[in-house]
Amino acid sequence: MEAIGAIIACGAALAFGVFAGSRWAPGPVLGALMGFVVGTVVAPAYFIAALLVGAVRPQLLDAHRVGLLAMALVIAGALCGSIGAWFGYRKSLGAKLF
């Protein structure tokens, strides 16, 4: 259950990275940095959502696994956000959005 939420959070970081990279990135390096920040913000959002679910349904989640996945998501979410922003920037060049 916890891993499914972490995978969804990585997908959200990728999607937000693509959106940020295609709309607001002035260059590929700054776009990747923006994606890094977006991906890093997803990890606390996952942790807060897991805390809220754990408060409502105490027996549903394992706290140790949530903590480990939150720590892993700091790295994986940042990488997914950076990759997504880079692809979004490259896509915006092909679509002539700038």
Note if the pTM is more than 0.85.
Answer: yes
Q: Is 17 within 8 Å of 42 (Cβ atoms)?
A: no
Number of other CB atoms surrounding residue 28 within 10 Å = 14
Mean pLDDT of each 10-residue bin along the chain, 98 residues long: 93 93 84 90 94 92 93 94 90 72
